[in-house]
């Protein structure tokens, strides 16, 4: 395996191969095989374009040729991919797979702090992004490339108009599409090696990189497609950015392509856009985070979209954050479709409620694991096994859960047990049927409607402000997003200009992803709610978490 990655112990690898989970298929070969079987079927619908499987396959070949010949990219080269929901995202990632290069996925909301970190941590050789969308992603990529230690990564603009107004130092994607295909550039990567990097929401400091292998990921994809009963007639709508793990693999676009179905990319998650696409494209399956599900429910339930014909929609998948049971119970009557809850993580383990589950299970649990070989432990704070039904921290290992973050030995020693279980930081209880109910978490993280924020990371940026003496970022409950972030900031003596807008401006200037910018900033003389004198930000977080966990009215 690539240095910095943690392999599964050989006895586990053998077991997963013998069970037929790890088949040796690679992501590059995956598309080739689908293109043979489903050549003329529609693979992708997006931004007015419609590509068949054969077309997507050919585009991947042509771009692979250009990337190899003109940018000298090849096996093992990491490439940061930060693209919105446009068809080019598929062309780019499959071209990279074909030459054995490794996509490093960044969300469109990420800014220079995150993208710079991804590029530096992987030694990226190129950044593929796209102009448009109200933020200058290309300019940001140029700044990140200029700041790189070592050879300057290429910057590629995948926006359709990029070649019309070429920008200094930027390669338009159109210039990299070779007219001919050179099969000598195709690589045959080791299916047991890292195929790409996903980003973890993280709990401490900078986001961690998650290396996923061809073998492990494609197993989760195939099994997910089976569980979700996908067929060539599946029409899947991704309302989330498709580079996120959920719309990529749970079952996501890869699961849909495995089955030969069609993927419809929504440019934004709004009810008008998405419900319009569901009606127009006869969408059968869609995946959303809870706040988006709630918006759709309200828009259809007597709102602006109540006249839509949503009769094609068979299943709405909701995941990424806690979906309140009251909202879950509205899905079937309001949208006229089934609900499927999805509790997953980019590190691996994914749980689904199943088509055969009864209503109470579908609305009241977060599903059960994909694989019979997903090992689940629920433990008490002292590490002892919880009793059946008792809440505890979820630990897991299995055929598609990583054994370590990339190049992070110190962090791995805390995030994994000695025998290789990933400490999810989620508090769950199990039901007698083996379903999991997410009850809370022990990890220091804010889940803002599915977008994860590590308080530490934001605090470190706040502490870099010369006028900030101390800072604490904590979750505050929110009826729509579940949680939002609030930053408490103590000014240094004499720092009178440390106002709320100044703090927000400072954070934006640091290049932090928009969803990590605190929703509320309180400039305070000392941290509130403790009354025990000088309190560190860690103590404060612990105190607030503790207070929130106690029933109201008790001190
Ligand atoms: P990440 O590790 O950044 O991929 O984020 C995964 C985390 O999102 C999980 O460990 C949970 O904390 C949270 N999560 C995902 N799906 C759900 C869900 N259906 N209900 C509650 N929390 C969820
Ligand atoms: O939140 C997640 O990271 C997530 C949610 C649902 C995920 O990675 C997944 C399904 O695969």
DSSP string of 442-502, one letter each residue: SSS-EEETTEEE-HHHHHHHHHTSTTEEEEEEEEEEETTTEEEEEEEEEEPTT-TT--HHH
Pair (253, 137) in one structural domain: no
The domain boundary, picked from 414, 442, 470, lies at: 442
Pair (326, 390) in one structural domain: yes
Tokens matching residue 344: 């997953």
Could you tell me which of 376, 397, 347 has the C-alpha nearest to residue 16? Answer: 397
Ligand 1 atom at minimal distance to the Cα of residue 445: 12
Please check the confidence at residue 552 and state whether its pLDDT lies above 80: no
Residue listed under structure tokens 């009241």 = 364
CB-neighbour burial class of residue 2 (10 A; exposed 0-12, middle 13-18, buried 19+): middle
115 to 179, 500, 516: CA distances (angstroms)? 31, 26, 14
CB distance 343 to ligand 1 below 6 Å: yes
Q: Confidence band (pLDDT; 50, 70, 90) for 16?
A: very high
Pair (438, 449) in one structural domain: no
**Which pLDDT belongs to residue 477?**
87
550 to 156, 389, 544: CA distances (angstroms)? 51, 20, 10
Pair (132, 64) in one structural domain: yes
Q: What residues make up the domain containing 351?
A: 213-442
CB 90 within 8 A of CB 128: no
Q: Does some domain include residue 506?
A: yes
Pair (498, 438) in one structural domain: no
**Which pLDDT belongs to residue 494?**
83
Q: Does some domain include residue 394?
A: yes
Q: Does some domain include residue 71?
A: yes
Q: Does some domain include residue 279?
A: yes
Pair (308, 419) in one structural domain: yes
Pair (238, 145) in one structural domain: no
Q: Does some domain include residue 6?
A: no
Distance, CA of 286 to CA of 274 (rounded, Å): 9
- The 3-state DSSP class for residue 407 equals coil
CB distance 38 to ligand 1 below 6 Å: no
CB distance 30 to ligand 2 below 6 Å: no
Ligand 2 center from residue 490 Cα (angstroms): 35
Q: Confidence band (pLDDT; 50, 70, 90) for 542?
A: low
Q: Confidence band (pLDDT; 50, 70, 90) for 537?
A: low
CB distance 250 to ligand 2 below 6 Å: yes
Tokens matching residue 18: 């013998």
- The DSSP bridge partners found for residue 196 are 212
- The 3-state DSSP class for residue 371 equals coil
CB distance 342 to ligand 2 below 6 Å: yes
pLDDT digits (tens, 9 = 90+) for 119-132: 999 999 999 999 98
CB 194 within 8 A of CB 102: yes
Q: What's the average model confidence in pLDDT over 495-516?
A: 93
**Which ligand is closest in space to the CA of residue 203?**
1
Distance, CA of 76 to CA of 189 (rounded, Å): 9
Residue listed under structure tokens 């079987």 = 37
Q: N- to C-terminal Cα distance for the chain?
A: 52
Angle at 174 between CA 173 and CA 177, to 5 degrees: 95
Pair (167, 245) in one structural domain: no
Ligand 2 center from residue 343 Cα (angstroms): 6
Q: How many structural domains does the chain have?
A: 3
pLDDT digits (tens, 9 = 90+) for 360-406: 999 999 999 999 999 999 999 999 999 999 999 999 999 999 999 99
Tokens matching residue 237: 């709508």
Ligand 2 center from residue 241 Cα (angstroms): 12
Ligand 2 atom at minimal distance to the Cα of residue 244: 8
CB distance 345 to ligand 2 below 6 Å: yes
Q: Does some domain include residue 485?
A: yes
In what helix (H) or strand (E) does residue 51 lie, and over which residues does it extend? Answer: strand 49-52
* Whole-angstrom Cα Rg for the chain: 23
User: Cis omega before residue 251 (within 30°)?
Assistant: yes
**Which pLDDT belongs to residue 132?**
86
Pair (455, 356) in one structural domain: no
> Which CATH number goes with the domain that contains 375?
3.40.50.12780
Pair (365, 414) in one structural domain: yes
| Residues contacting residue 233 through CB under 8 Å, at least 6 positions apart | 261, 284
- The 3-state DSSP class for residue 201 equals coil
Q: Does some domain include residue 121?
A: yes
CB distance 452 to ligand 1 below 6 Å: yes
Please check the confidence at residue 102 and state whether its pLDDT lies above 50: yes
Please check the confidence at residue 481 and state whether its pLDDT lies above 90: yes
Residue listed under structure tokens 């929130």 = 548
> Which CATH number goes with the domain that contains 510?
3.30.300.30
CB distance 424 to ligand 1 below 6 Å: yes
pLDDT digits (tens, 9 = 90+) for 341-352: 999 999 999 999
Ligand 2 center from residue 319 Cα (angstroms): 7
Beta-sheet pairing, 235-238 with 194-199: unpaired
Q: What's the average model confidence in pLDDT over 491-507?
A: 91
Pair (356, 221) in one structural domain: yes
Pair (357, 237) in one structural domain: yes
Q: Does some domain include residue 555?
A: no
- Mutation pick for ligand 1 pocket among 110, 201, 421 (CB with most ligand atoms within 8 Å): 201
Ligand 2 atom at minimal distance to the Cα of residue 248: 11
**Which ligand is closest in space to the CA of residue 349?**
2
Give percent above pLDDT 70 in the chain.
95
Task: Tell me what the pLDDT averaged over the chain comes to.
Answer: 94
Distance, CA of 177 to CA of 467 (rounded, Å): 50
Ligand 2 atom at minimal distance to the Cα of residue 252: 11
> Which CATH number goes with the domain that contains 101?
3.40.50.980
Angle at 78 between CA 73 and CA 83, to 5 degrees: 95
HSE-CB at 344 with a 13 A cutoff on CA atoms is 30
CB 230 within 8 A of CB 254: no
The domain boundary, picked from 393, 420, 442, lies at: 442
pLDDT digits (tens, 9 = 90+) for 272-286: 999 999 999 999 999
Angle at 111 between CA 130 and CA 274, to 5 degrees: 60
Distance, CA of 6 to CA of 412 (rounded, Å): 10
Which residue's CA is the closest to the ligand 1 atom numbered 7? 345
- Mutation pick for ligand 1 pocket among 200, 209, 345, 391 (CB with most ligand atoms within 8 Å): 345
The domain boundary, picked from 442, 461, 491, lies at: 442
CB distance 210 to ligand 2 below 6 Å: no
């Amino acid at each position: 395996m690539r240095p910095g990655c943690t392999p599964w112990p050989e006895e586990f690898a053998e077991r997963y191969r013998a069970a037929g989970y790890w088949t040796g298929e690679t992501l590059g070969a995956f598309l080739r095989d689908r293109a043979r079987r489903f050549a003329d079927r529609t693979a992708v619908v997006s931004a007015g374009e419609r590509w068949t499987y054969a077309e997507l396959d050919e585009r991947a070949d042509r771009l692979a040729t250009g990337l190899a010949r003109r940018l000298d990219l090849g096996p093992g080269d990491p490439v940061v991919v930060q693209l919105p929901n446009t068809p080019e995202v598929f062309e780019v990632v499959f071209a990279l797979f074909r030459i054995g290069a490794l996509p490093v996925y960044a969300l469109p909301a990420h800014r220079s702090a995150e993208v710079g970190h991804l590029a530096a941590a992987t030694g990226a050789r190129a950044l593929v992004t796209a102009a448009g969308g109200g933020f200058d992603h290309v300019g940001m990529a140029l700044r990140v490339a200029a700041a790189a230690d070592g050879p300057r990564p290429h910057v590629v603009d995948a926006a359709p108009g990029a070649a019309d107004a070429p920008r200094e130092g930027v390669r338009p994607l159109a210039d990299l599409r070779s007219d001919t295909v050179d099969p000598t550039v195709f690589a045959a990567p080791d299916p047991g090696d890292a195929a790409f990097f996903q980003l973890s929401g993280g709990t401490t400091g900078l986001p961690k990189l998650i290396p996923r292998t061809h073998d492990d990921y494609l197993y989760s994809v195939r099994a997910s497609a089976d569980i979700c009963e996908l067929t060539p007639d599946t029409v899947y709508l991704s309302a989330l950015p498709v580079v996120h793990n959920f719309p990529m693999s749970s079952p996501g676009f890869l699961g849909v392509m495995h089955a030969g179905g069609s993927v419809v990319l929504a440019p934004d998650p709004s009810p008008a856009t998405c419900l319009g696409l569901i009606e127009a494209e006869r969408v059968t399956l869609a995946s959303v985070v809870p706040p988006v599900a709630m918006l759709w429910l309200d828009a259809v339930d007597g709102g602006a979209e109540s006249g839509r014909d949503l009769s094609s929609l068979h299943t709405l998948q909701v995941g990424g954050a806690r979906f309140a049971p009251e909202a879950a119970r509205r899905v079937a009557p309001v949208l006229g479709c089934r609900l499927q809850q999805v509790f997953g993580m980019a590190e691996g383990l994914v749980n689904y409620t199943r088509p055969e589950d009864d209503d109470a299970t579908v609305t009241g649990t977060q599903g059960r694991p994909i694989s019979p070989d997903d090992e689940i432990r629920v433990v008490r704070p002292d590490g002892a096994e919880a009793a059946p039904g008792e809440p505890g921290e979820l630990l897991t290992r299995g055929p598609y859960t990583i054994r370590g973050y990339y190049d992070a030995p110190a962090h791995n020693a805390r995030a994994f047990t000695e025998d290789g279980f990933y400490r999810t930081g989620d508090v769950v209880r199990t039901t007698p049927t083996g379903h999991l109910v997410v009850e809370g978490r022990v990890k220091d993280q804010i889940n803002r409607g599915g977008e994860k924020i590590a308080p530490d990371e934001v605090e470190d940026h706040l502490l870099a402000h010369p006028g900030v003496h101390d800072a604490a970022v904590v979750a505050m409950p929110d009826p729509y997003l579940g949680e939002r972030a609030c930053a408490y900031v103590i000014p240094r003596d004499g720092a009178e200009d440390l106002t709320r807008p100044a703090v927000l401006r400072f954070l934006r200037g640091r290049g932090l992803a928009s969803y990590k910018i605190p929703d509320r900033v309180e400039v305070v003389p000392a941290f509130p709610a403790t009354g025990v004198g000088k309190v560190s930000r860690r103590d404060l977080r612990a105190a607030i978490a503790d207070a929130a966990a106690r029933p109201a009215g008790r001190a």
